[in-house]
Structure 1
Amino acid sequence: MIQLIQRAQAFRQRPAISTGEMEISYAQLLQRSERLARALLGGNPDLNEARIAFLVAPGIDYVTLQWGIWRAGGIAVPLCVKHPLPSLRHVIEDAGALFVVYGPEFEETLQPLFGLEDTVFVAVGDLEQGSGQSLPEVAPDRRAMILYTSGTTGKPKGVVTTHANIEASIRSLVDAWRWSEDDRILNILPLHHVHGIVNVLCCALWSGACCEFLPQFSPEAVFARFATGRINLFMAVPTIYYKLIAHYRELPADQQQRISRALRDFRLMVSGSAALPVSVLETWREISDHTLLERYGMTEMGMAISNPYSGERRPGYIGQPLRGVEVRLVDEDDAPVAEGQPGEIQVKGDNVFREYWNRPEATAAAFTPDGWFRTGDIAVWEDGAYRILGRNSVDIIKSGGYKISALEIEEVLRKHPAVRECAVVGLPDEEWGEVIGASLIVAGPEPDLQSLTEWLRERLPGYKLPRRYIFQDDLPRNVMGKVTKQELKQYFA
């Protein structure tokens, strides 16, 4: 049996999943997922890695369906509840889904696709009745899940992970972040992404903890759950922390004090999936007395690097490699760089994905000849920790022979009193290769650009100063809150 599901036997009477309105135990989760597995099998002995896509709201149905697919020997392909129809169609067709299982609230969304050949669309409620057949033995090296990349640098690719890959990720995080059965975490993250699925949901269920879901995100609802005193763990993206801070500032002083008292009792708070602005980290620390734990990972490998659970967490640093993960920094020829020099992060370990679905050339290109996964992210090793500089394709700007970190410039811009949020990109230029462009979201009237440039000149060398500016009401983002910089570049055109 899959180790994650086998472990649930030890926690049968403990609460597993809560939605606020309903809570089920591990015993009920096992029973429900077994029925769903039998329904998916339909009398067959094994799904044999058939792809089962599903569009189901976060909560009890999502988890029981995920486990049911795994227990039947299938590959889980979670769909994003916020994606438009063309994006959903791409995933369903690219994965070659045998079934698409959907919640009732998504029937109208999917209806235009009901005629797709070789794919059966079925409501999750119609899978409740399964026969009494035995379930297949599922080996650790079986493919377990296909998650699709965000597509920020090209068409989304299906990232295939095995049960062994997922288990390796879970084990390293449970060890690093000291999960226990006494934990209760609020999960508000999208469940088509490794952050919400593995870091939160799977780690909680591996540990015998309870994973609680909200029907819909709002700062008010999140703070209300925090105020109950039952939640002791929270993981989110920087955009969520930014929204929580903005709402907190609007509250009366007595409500702020009540929330801050509740937050101080938390065991751990984590930020990931995008670079955490230092200003957000510092403000959240003032509110909660917690220094957010930053970590580094991606769809292809889960988590690879993390700041320590106990010990110093420095703003702008992502920490050290997790247990069982090897990390190196290399130059453009895959040669290791000296300490203090920037290089591409490359990773080895049981956590690294198996392949891109039906893309052997892309899979081969993602690895070095000696088996290191090329992340495409640039970092530097300083004073015993990694500091992330950005993604090679969008966050490293090559201008006049310099390699410039867009994230560094963004951090400085956010300290200007008029700048509420910003994003920096490289724009094509005949003379310089690229010039620096900055999109600003400001509080109040637009600042004088000459004065802004003089302010920046006191804090940055001349070659790091933006040459072009635009002002926007908001930045283009994907569902994880990450700025889509390729899209942002089009606004400058």
Structure 2
Amino acid sequence: MSLMKKYARPCVLQLKRHLQQTQAEVQIPVSLPTGPVFRNAQHFPDRVALRDQFASYTYSNIFMVANELSQEITKLVHGRTNERVMFLCPNDLNYVVTLWAIWLSGQIAVPLSPLHPKNVLLYYANDTTAKLIITTSEYSDLMHKVSKNSNSIVHLLDNELKSICVDKVATTRSDLEGGLPLQFYRGSNAMILYTSGTTGSPKGKRSIIS
């Protein structure tokens, strides 16, 4: 027997055993959830969805806080849907909660960057005819200046949002229910993203939620 055959056969058998063990340990779901990402809360309520410098948050934590915020958004836009809602948040829980809340309320999200100067942010507000701006206290002054020169109002997120989110516990299935019918999301825009505008003014590109 050659050295190659002598050592190759044990390696192949070891690889087969490893694959069999891996397949036994990994449980692949028969079907994955479809539709808006926030509906994952119903399927994976206790799984960690996000970690930031403050804490870890499960899908149910985030959903419940986002659902409450979505109800505030609905009131602020007078019950309408498909309104443009701009938001400027740091890259942490605030960003995800706000994005989910906008979609739960049936609105179109317009994410902003703190790197953009006030005149660019004002251009976005007027170009999208945004009715609402959601932000945190650190960007409050900037966004109020944008609001004064556009047809929009500012809603500040609670400074204790992260602590509130960690403490949220779903006790019934209804705690993880919210949003609009799936058919709404299949036919509506989810987000407007702006190009750099190197050859002119930035242009908004629309995307759908699912």
Name the TM-score, length of structure 1 as normaliser: 0.31
Identical pairs, percent: 26
Distance 1:44 1:150, change over 3 A: closer
Q: Which amino acid aligns with 1:104?
A: S
Q: Deviations over 1:126-185 (max 9, x none)?
A: 9x7xxx9x643233120110000111232100111122xxx3xxxxxxxxxxxxxxxxxx
Partner of 1:25: 58
Structure with greater helix percent: 2
1:40 equivalenced with 2:73 (yes/no): yes
Q: How many Å apart are 1:10 and its aligned residue?
A: 1.7
Aligned runs of 1:36-435 on 2, under 5 Å? 36-42=69-75, 46-125=79-158, 135-137=179-181, 138-163=184-209, 167=210
Residue pair 2:193, 2:206 contacting (<8 A) in 1 also: yes
Structure 2 unaligned runs (5+)?
1-33, 162-174
Q: Report Cα offsets for 1:22-78 as digits up to 9, x if no partner.
A: 111111011111111111111878532000000111110110110000010000000
- Secondary structure of the residue that 1:160 maps to in structure 2? strand
Higher relative contact order (CA 8 A, sep 6+): 2
Give the Cα–Cα distance (whole angstroms) in 1 for the partners of residues 35 and 158 of structure 2.
25
Question: What amino acid is aligned across from residue 53 of structure 1 in structure 2?
Answer: M
Alpha-carbon distance between aligned partners in 2 of 1:95 and 1:44, rounded to the nearest angstrom: 15
**Matches of 1:111 and 1:142, distance apart in 2:** 29
Aligned partners of 1:150 and 1:162: how far apart in 2?
A: 20
The alignment of Structure 1 onto Structure 2 pairs a total of residues equal to: 161
8 Å Cα contact 2:121/2:146 also seen in 1: no
1:115/1:45 Cα in 2 relative to 1: closer, same or farther (>3 Å)?
closer
C-alpha RMSD of the superposition: 2.6
Q: Tell me the alpha carbon deviations over residues 313-338 of structure 1, each in whole angstroms, 9 at most, x when there is no partner.
A: xxxxxxxxxxxxxxxxxxxxxxxxxx
Q: Structure 1 pair 113/43, CA: closer, same or farther in 2 (3 Å)? A: closer
CA distance in 2, matches of 1:88, 1:142: 24
TM-score after normalising by structure 2? 0.69
Rounded to whole Å, the distance in 2 between the matches of 1:2 and 1:147 is 20
Please list every run of 5 or more consecutive structure 1 residues that lacks an aligned counterpart in the other structure.
Answer: 168-493
Deviation for aligned residue 1:3: 3.3
Dislocated runs of 4+, deviation >3 Å: 43-47
User: Matched residue of 2:141: which SS?
Assistant: helix
Answer whether contact 1:140 1:162 (CA < 8 A) is retained: yes
Distance in 1 separating the partners of 2:77 and 2:98: 18
Task: Answer 1 or 2: which has greater strand percent.
Answer: 1
Note if contact 2:48-2:56 (Cα within 8 Å) is conserved in structure 1: yes
13-22 vs 117-126, greater mean Cα deviation:
117-126
**What is the CA-CA distance between 1:117 and the residue it aligns to?**
4.5
